[in-house]
Amino acid sequence: MQQLPEVWGILNVTPDSFSDGGRYVDAGAAIAHARRLRAQGAGVIDVGGESTRPGADPIDPAEERARILPVVTELVREGIRVSVDTIHASTAEAVMAAGAEIVNDVTAGLHDEAMLRTVAAGGARIVLMHSRGIDVTVDTDYDDVVAEVEAHLQERLAAAEAAGIPRSRVILDPGFGFSKQPGDNWRLLAELPRFTRIGPPLLVGTSRKRFLGELVPDGAPSEERDAATAATSLLAAQRGATAVRVHDVASTVASLRALGAMHHAERLPAAAAHGADGWSIDLATGAMLEPPQLHGSIELRGVRGFGHHGVLPEERRDGQEFVVDAHLSVDLHDAVTSDDVADTVHYGELAEQLVAAIERDPVDLIETLADRLAGVCLAHPRVEHASVTVHKPSAPIAVPFGDVAVTVHRGRERP
């Protein structure tokens, strides 16, 4: 079953944002609102200190930092995961030092040429969004909006990797509402699976955008777009979005929970829907409650692949054999119940994927290779934790040796 997207709650610490400008300029009010958003189900709070609404005046990065740093610092202290919406490398550096987990750049690093290098050094994840600059109302003509947005995201992903940001730390965003006509946004939503095939997780932010204003009466306040936001977030979930970014967390969380309940019902045998086979019904909400998970492990040992990894020129030139052992922690409940390979990890396919990853572009260290292979394992939704050991039996060591190996342990990253 496809995992539901994580919900990001929008927190604008600005006097001039199009929807809620001025409500949370005070740090105390902003922190209180962030707590409400988390209580409503937000997994990440996305803090912004500079408005991107049409006609907004740019601000000095020092003023942006003064607005958001007290909020970011307190939220991190309380254990709340924080993303910061900024186009300034100096602000990104400061918020990463304060503990922000994600930098959300609506220009994908194009506004500030130091942004990608700064995020690479700081270790945060980065959202690369499609836009044509920070003025969202200009340059809205496309020959093929889907193809052009896709090409832009691929180009910015390559730029991020060239700057030292691993693909595993990148999130892509098609940029709903930025330099796009209403019809462009609907086409992007319809074609969302095309963007998921690029590889990194996908963030969708339709919240209260102008194109949703066409669905409500003329002159209605932006808050009346929340139902349409929840609907488009649900549509995005069905098309592969990993996260959705919204102002009204409660309505979107409820819509996604309804989708999740339906998915559960579709997969249940008739008896389970009546409370058998470990399933139960929450009488207060009518929701179906899953039975406890059945944790287990899958071992895949001695997978052999040929690659050109190593620090020495002859290793890069001639290549050598690498041997991989993978230990996977897996939820086996559905597999045991259904006796269907689709509900577990197909270890034959995984072995082929590991070999393909070994054969990919070379790296210096087997530590790096082991982390790459752990990421391959964790791409399987059933895998909760992966321990991957890479052996280098032909390592160029000047003394007799039996084996050299590196082991990496990785749990599933949150989107």
Element (H, E) at 189: helix 182-190
**With contact defined as beta carbons under 8 Å apart, do 60 and 48 qualify?**
no
DSSP letters, 324-359, are EEEEEEEE-HHHHHH--GGGS--HHHHHHHHHHHHH
Cα(245)–Cα(233) distance, rounded to whole angstroms?
8
Give the integer Cα–Cα distance in Å for 63 and 49.
8
Alpha-carbon distance of 26 to 146, in angstroms, equals: 40
Residues classed as catalytic: 209, 245
Cβ within 8 Å of residue 247, ≥6 positions away: 9, 10, 19, 20, 207, 208, 223, 226, 229
Which residue, among 60, 160, 145, 57, has the nearest Cα to 108 in the 3D structure? 160
Distance CA 357, CA 363 (A): 11
Whole-number Å distance between alpha carbons of 291 and 302: 35
Cα separation, 122 vs 23, in Å, equals 31
* Residue 87 in tokens: 């186009």
